Every structure is written in structure tokens, then in C-alpha cells.
Amino acid sequence: MLVIALSAMLAFFAIAQLRILVIHAYSQMKGVGGQAIELTRPTSCSWPTVVVQLPIYREHKVLYRLLTAVKNLDYMDGRLAVQVLDDSEGEEAALAKAVVDAHRGGSVPIEYVHRTSRDGYKSGALNHGTRMADCDLVAIFDADFTPDRDFLIKTVPLFEDARVAAVHTRWRHRNGLSSALTLFQAAVIDSLFCFSSGIRQARGESTIYLGTSGVWRKRTIEELGGWHEAPFTDDGIDLSFRAQLAGWSVVFVNEALASSDLPDTYLSYKNQQRRWARAAFRLFLDYGKKALSPPQGKRRRFLELSSLHLVLGTPVLVLTGVLTSAYVVLGLPRTPYWVITQVGLSAFLVLFPPLQECVLSQRILYDDWARRCLRLPLSLPLAIGVSVSILAGFRDTIKRDEPEFVRTPKEGSSGIIRKSEAKWVGTASRIAWFELGLGVVFLSAGLLSVVRGYAESCFLLWSLAGAFLVASARSGSEIRRAGHRPATPASAGTSD
């Protein structure tokens, strides 16, 4: 039974690897990449009214930079307004309002909207602001983003097509080269733009809005019932699916028209990935059947199915290591089929399809791709280590636990952990202990595989051991630097 399970996982990885070849061939054939996909923009535009919505929560330190960029957007006089949708409380709200007041008085009116509750979190804030807005279009930017001056000039004309519900763009990463961790995050996002949004756009299909750096038709939002405020839902992707099912089109502009910050601490990154895993699993449960049976045929279904490795790749790899450890500990027969399976799994670990997509995206997008790609393998242990947080996100969705929503901490691009506010550090400590436990298990199983003659399993087990020991050490170091001693598993908190 264990061998069958391992073989099924090997087949999953083989499909993921085949996806690399397919998207590479298609990107070469269609020219998807660094050059913007040619979109037919109208020669004249009615320039509809636009309200720029800025949903924030305890992010006043980056709000000044964002408002400065938004006020400088190039657009028609009298047809642009700004809403700052602030869900902060107490002093944080007062500080955010002070930043807004400092930017008032120009040609672009700025409205400060403060809710007395955080119902629906970001989705709730967007719905509240949309009901108040008197406009044709709403543009949305998270607090750690800044749009380029020509953002609206390059996106709004595409709404002359009455079928277009939304337009979103690629973005650049301000701190993408500051460490191996941020470089890996930047490369993952780049690969999504290149091989998900880019290829969909090249095929003339509706794309997926990733929650920021985009413009929506207000009428579409209203017709679809607004942003979904249910727990574990990714607001942008959810609305994109609903728009597509209703016959609307979401257009992708393959040009970097905004800049963003990435979490530059491992704890912040893991917290973000846990939230995203909850949302991804919820979306799969809600729309998976429809997404895997599109009218476009088998090629589209293959790409949709194979893209699951982006979320499931590392958790499945961990489960593979656990099953391999059990096989070795139980001393089950070392058959030729077992050896072939283990060699295949080790080959997957060397090739690692998510890393290949990242490398390919860097090759397409950047002139200094070689320097970037040489640094990417340094982040591989942290990329594998985050699988525990992803599994925790899946668990949250299955058990319908609703931990408090906590935005990824930001202070400029420093991604600090606030000692007084980071309630999720308790859970981070428990996850760090779990990572350490997995590292010890895989290390012990690797040693046992040598003693018992399962040499073909050593590479997989020791690689996983190294990854989880590194991840645990990094997590523990960041918790201590934040002024928190890692709690014991029994006393660790349960908040997110």
C-alpha cells in the first residue's frame, strides 16, 4: 500500500514536470514573457470616473508613500478620487487619518473611510467603500504597493470593451533582491504572471486577478453581489471566477505598472502562506469542479490540474518523506519497483518543478537572470519548510477554524514583527517545533536507511531533514530576535 501511495505521488510529480515542458514550449511559441502582450487599446477613450480604493489595517507607515504615488497618477482632471478604507483601531487609526489629512488639498479628493468593525476584513472594507463610491471604475492597491504614474492611462482604455470586468497588471518587487527568501517569493509571483496570467491572455482567455494592482468595473462588482466576505476566501480570485462564469472577461496587462514589498522575515512569509493556503483550498472546494471541466477542452484541463503542484508540491513531498520513513522503519521488502520509485522521487527533488518555473520566469523577464537563478537554490530549504504552514492552512479550512485575520506585518519593506500585536507568534513557535520534529525524524530515517540497506532513500530523506532543520532554525532565530522565547508545544498559543 505504501508503494502504491508513493507511486501515485511520483505520477503527480511527473505531471508537474510535464507542465514545465508544455508552458516552456507555449511561451516560446507565443512569445509570452518580458515584452508586454499586445492588447488592442482603443484610439479614443471616454475616460470614465475612477475611485482608487486603498484598504489598510495598521499600515500607516507605508500609507504616506502610497498616497503620494496615487495623487501623482496621470488621469483626467475631475475624474479621479481616492478612498482610504481603514479598519485600524485607536492610535493606529488616528495616525492613518493624520497621513490622509497631510495629503488633502490637491486636485484629487481623498476620503478617509473608517469602519467601527472589521466584518469581512478586506472584502468587507471594499464592499463598504464600493457602496459609497459614485464612479464607473474602482482601482485597488494594497498598502505595500505603489502604482506607476501611467497605471490608469494604460489600463482604463481597455474598458471600452463592454465585456471587460477587470484589468490587472504585473508588478515589480522593491526588495526582491534583498535576500534569498525575497528573491524566491519574487520569482514565484513572476512565474504566476508569466505562465498563468500570461499564457491565459495569449490564448484569449479570461485571467485571474490576484487581489491588488487592478481596476474593476463597479457595475460588475454590484451584479456579482460584491466581494465575498466568507472565511478563507481570496477576494480577488473568487471574484475573478464568478466574473468568468457570468460571461465577463478579466484582462491581464503583461507590463510591470506597480511596485510592491515582499515579506522579508520567514515568520511573516509563513503566516502569509498559511492564509493563502486556506484561501486556495476554499477556492478549490468552491470552483474546482467547474475549473477542471471548462469548454476549451483537454489542454486547458491539463494546465488547470497541473497548476495544483504550485500549492500541493511541497506538502506532497513532505508526505512522501513520511511514507518513505515508515517503509524503512518497518523494514518492508526492497523490491525493484520500490527502488525505481525512490530514484524517481529523488530526481523530482533535484528537478523540483516549482523551482524550474521560477528559473524560467527569471530567464524570460530579466537581463540579469543568471545572477538571480544562481541564488534561487539557496531558498530551497525555506521553500520546503513552509509546507507545514501550508498544511496548517488546509487544516483550518477543513475544520472551519477561523483564527483572527492578521495582515503580513510591514514597515516600509522591513516586514517587522510587532511584539505587542503579533498574536500569531505562539502558533509560529509550535510550527517551528513541528518542523524540528520532522527534521529529526527524516534524519533518523536516513541513518536507518543506510544501516538497513535502503541506499536509494538516503538522498530524499537527508534532503528533507536538512530543509526542515534549516527552516526550524530560521524560525526560532526570528522569534528570539522579536523578543519571544519559543513556547513549548503544550503552551504555545493558537492564534494565527
Q: 3-class DSSP state for residue 359?
A: helix
Distance CA 236, CA 231 (A): 14
**Hey, what's the cell of 211?**
487581489
Closest CA to 4 of 335, 448, 460: 335
- Residue 211's identity, in one-letter code, is G
**Cβ-based neighbour number of residue 56 at 10 Å:** 25
From residue 68, alpha-carbon distances to 216, 278, 307 in Å are 22, 33, 37
Distance CA 446, CA 454 (A): 9
**Residue of 144, 234, 235, 238 marked catalytic:** 235
* Catalytic (active site) residue 74: no
Q: Output the CA angle 89-94-95, nearest 5 degrees.
A: 110
157, HSE (Cβ side, Cα atoms, 13 Å): 13
Kindly tell me the sign of the dihedral angle through the C-alpha atoms of 398, 358, 165, 85: positive
Q: Output the CA angle 255-257-260, nearest 5 degrees.
A: 115
Distance in Å from the first CA to the final CA of the chain:
36
Closest CA to 84 of 66, 111, 46: 111
Q: Cβ neighbours of residue 455 under 8 Å, at least 6 residues apart?
A: 449
Q: Output the CA angle 80-81-83, nearest 5 degrees.
A: 150
Cβ–Cβ < 8 Å for 261, 413: yes
Q: How far from the centroid of its chain's Cα atoms is residue 7's Cα?
A: 29
* Catalytic (active site) residue 235: yes
Active site residues: 87, 235
